[in-house]
């Protein structure tokens, strides 16, 4: 008797949610046609499947790169109902905050179809200065040194006190302060750009490529001229910039090559952080085919093809502070002829990662200890080029020196100002949420009551389920004064 052969292979088990009702349900991870698929069953809404990764070899190799948890000095909640209902962080959480975010307003001058933070036009709020400072102080107390703080929104440049907020953050024990923005205000308001040049936050600019048609779909109108004007201004004032393309399969995945080419030739643009579009907020209503979507590994494959092998999939290293399916990164050195050289082609980062993740033991010579701390600095969600400490650049030079620069024609120091980073951050959504990943998350939204919530959990379980208004109630409960502003007035002021 011929028995049928199953068309997928069991790989693992986790908890996820039903994409229709968001009830917590069990989920299987399966290998099918060299792809990793999440399959789950909701008693009410039946089966659903989503593509998690296109390349199982990558997934297998990255699974070993999970680092033992590095815990915060203090926790913010107790375990009462179980994950994901106890975020704070609770004692079950498996990583401290590498990258913190504070939303300082929900107001925005755009209405992007892919936005995960709507609505912007009703019940506008602005975080007050005292609460902002208190929230930072809480986070710094939990962390000792807070690696990175992102000021975000809505559109944070529309907050009336945005420049003061950046100054206040920079006075704290924080390694780097980032300003998330759509770039409109920088493009339109030169005074504002000049002020940013004095304070020097790193600009984290949404930028979906060079095709005007793409912006009509991702941002609701052709924003390319404004984006280019913003970039010109950031270059003029030499402000460190991270370009953040939201990439959707079949829409702008062909833009990765041109964006990376721009990265290589633009001195103040230090990083491209690619974000596959995730199905939340406005995007949940867009037609994302959950089985034919771009994933982290899909982005790597597209980058390798579109850069003609200048940046290969093998140049990406796992970021072991969070779950390996959440993100990966690569560092590129530009030689004197501006030719890109990937760090991993000179340094066996994987060998060091084995030690970082405690899977190998070795005689810890002083050189090796130094190299280990250097790898920890670069293989982290908090690794940002261009901060005042230059920690990431120094770490890369340390690694180059430790391997005697084999194969390098240029001395390590010469690369100090010629480093670029390409990272991929694959945020979770209604289809892909995986409790394993949530518990290891190191990217946290700070709330006005002092809690830190893993960013994907905040988006999935709080923001769009009415808890956005909880955010507002929290402000009220703490006696914070905030203005019920009208979006239009704010937009005009910008």
Give Rg (Cα) of the chain. 22
Residue 370 C-beta: closest distance to ligand SF4, Å: 27
Looking at the chain, how many residues does it have?
494
Contacts 24+ apart (CB under 8 A), 93-96: 93/69, 93/439, 93/441, 93/454, 94/69, 94/439, 94/440, 95/69, 95/70, 95/71, 95/321, 95/322, 95/440, 95/441, 95/442, 96/69, 96/70, 96/71, 96/72, 96/142, 96/143, 96/442
Nearer to ligand SF4, 86 or 354 (CB): 86
Nearer to ligand SF4, 376 or 393 (CB): 376
Nearer to ligand SF4, 228 or 414 (CB): 228
- Please tell me the distance from the alpha carbon of residue 51 to that of residue 31, in angstroms, as a whole number: 10
Residue 115 C-beta: closest distance to ligand SF4, Å: 3
Residue 245 C-beta: closest distance to ligand SF4, Å: 13
Nearer to ligand SF4, 202 or 275 (CB): 275
Residue 412 C-beta: closest distance to ligand SF4, Å: 30
- Please tell me the distance from the alpha carbon of residue 446 to that of residue 448, in angstroms, as a whole number: 7
Crossing angle of helices 190-199 and 162-170, in 10° steps, is: 10
Interface residues with ligand SF4 (CB under 6 A) are 83-84, 86-90, 92-93, 108, 110-112, 115, 117, 153-155, 182, 322-323, 326, 425-428, 437-439, 441-443, 454-457
Residue 326 C-beta: closest distance to ligand SF4, Å: 3
Q: In what order do the strands lie in the sheet with 9-17?
A: 9-17, 24-32, 35-42, 46-53
Residue 427 C-beta: closest distance to ligand SF4, Å: 5
Nearer to ligand SF4, 333 or 441 (CB): 441
Closest to 108 (Cα-Cα) out of 226, 209, 219:
219
Nearer to ligand SF4, 78 or 336 (CB): 78
| Helices marked H in 124-189 | 129-143, 162-170, 184-188
- Please tell me the distance from the alpha carbon of residue 260 to that of residue 334, in angstroms, as a whole number: 13
The separation between CA 492 and the C-alpha centre of its own chain, rounded to angstroms, equals 30
Give ∠ CA 142-148-151 in degrees, rounded to 5.
Answer: 100
Residue 99 C-beta: closest distance to ligand SF4, Å: 8
Nearer to ligand SF4, 326 or 397 (CB): 326
Residue 400 C-beta: closest distance to ligand SF4, Å: 28
- Please tell me the distance from the alpha carbon of residue 335 to that of residue 340, in angstroms, as a whole number: 7
Residue 435 C-beta: closest distance to ligand SF4, Å: 7
Contacts 24+ apart (CB under 8 A), 256-263: 256/299, 256/302, 256/303, 256/306, 257/303, 257/305, 257/306, 257/307, 258/209, 258/210, 258/306, 259/207, 259/209, 259/210, 260/303, 260/306, 260/307, 260/310, 260/311, 260/422, 261/307, 262/210, 263/420, 263/422
Place of tokens 């990083």: 271
Crossing angle of helices 224-236 and 190-199, in 10° steps, is: 50
Nearer to ligand SF4, 397 or 453 (CB): 453
Nearer to ligand SF4, 298 or 340 (CB): 298
Nearer to ligand SF4, 139 or 419 (CB): 139
Residue 264 C-beta: closest distance to ligand SF4, Å: 26
Residue 13 C-beta: closest distance to ligand SF4, Å: 17
Give ∠ CA 303-284-450 in degrees, rounded to 5.
Answer: 90
Nearer to ligand SF4, 83 or 228 (CB): 83
């Amino acid at each position: 008797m011929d028995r049928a052969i199953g068309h997928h292979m069991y790989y693992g088990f986790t908890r996820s949610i039903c994409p229709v009702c968001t009830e917590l349900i069990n989920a299987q991870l399966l290998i099918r046609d060299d792809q990793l698929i999440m399959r789950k069953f909701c008693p009410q809404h039946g089966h659903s499947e989503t593509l998690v990764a296109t390349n199982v070899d990558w997934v297998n190799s990255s699974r070993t790169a999970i680092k033992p948890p590095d815990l915060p000095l203090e926790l913010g909640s107790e375990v009462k109902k179980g994950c994901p209902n106890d975020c704070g962080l609770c004692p079950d959480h498996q990583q401290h905050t590498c990258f913190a975010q504070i939303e300082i307003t929900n107001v925005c001058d755009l209405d992007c179809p892919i936005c995960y933070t709507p609505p912007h036009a009703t019940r506008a709020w602005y975080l007050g200065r005292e609460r902002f400072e208190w929230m930072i102080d809480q986070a710094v107390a939990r962390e000792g040194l807070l690696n990175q703080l992102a000021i975000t929104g809505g559109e944070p440049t529309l907050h009336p006190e945005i420049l003061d907020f950046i100054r206040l953050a920079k006075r704290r024990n924080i390694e780097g302060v980032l300003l998330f923005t759509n770039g409109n205000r920088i493009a339109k308001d030169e005074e504002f750009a000049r002020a940013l040049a004095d304070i020097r936050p790193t600009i984290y600019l949404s930028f979906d490529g060079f095709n005007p048609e793409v912006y009509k779909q991702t941002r609701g109108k052709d924003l390319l001229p404004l984006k280019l004007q913003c970039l010109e201004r950031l270059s003029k004032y030499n402000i460190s910039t991270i370009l953040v393309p939201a990439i959707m399969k079949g829409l702008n995945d062909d833009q990765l090559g041109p964006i990376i080419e721009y990265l290589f030739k633009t001195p103040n643009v230090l990083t491209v952080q690619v974000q596959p579009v995730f199905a939340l907020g406005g995007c949940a209503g867009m037609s994302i085919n959950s089985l034919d979507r771009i994933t982290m590994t899909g982005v790597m494959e597209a980058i390798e093809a579109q850069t003609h092998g200048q940046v290969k999939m093998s140049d990406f290293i796992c970021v072991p502070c969070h779950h390996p399916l959440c993100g990966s990164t690569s560092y590129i050195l530009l030689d004197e002829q501006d030719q890109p050289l990937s760090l991993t082609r000179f340094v066996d980062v994987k060998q060091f990662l084995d030690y970082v993740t405690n899977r190998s033991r070795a005689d810890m010579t002083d050189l090796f200890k130094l190299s280990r701390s250097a790898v920890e600095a670069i293989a982290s969600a908090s690794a940002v080029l261009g901060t005042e400490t230059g920690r990431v650049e120094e770490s890369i030079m340390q690694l180059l020196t430790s391997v005697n620069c084999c194969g390098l024609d240029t001395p390590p120091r010469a690369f100090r100002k010629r480093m670029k980073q390409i990272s991929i951050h694959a945020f979770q959504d209604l289809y892909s949420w995986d409790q394993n990943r949530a518990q290891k998350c190191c990217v946290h939204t700070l709330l006005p009551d002092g809690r830190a919530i893993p960013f994907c959990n905040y988006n999935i379980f709080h923001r769009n389920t009415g808890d956005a208004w909880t955010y507002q109630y929290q402000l009220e409960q703490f006696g914070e004064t905030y203005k019920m502003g009208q979006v239009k007035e704010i937009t005009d002021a910008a």
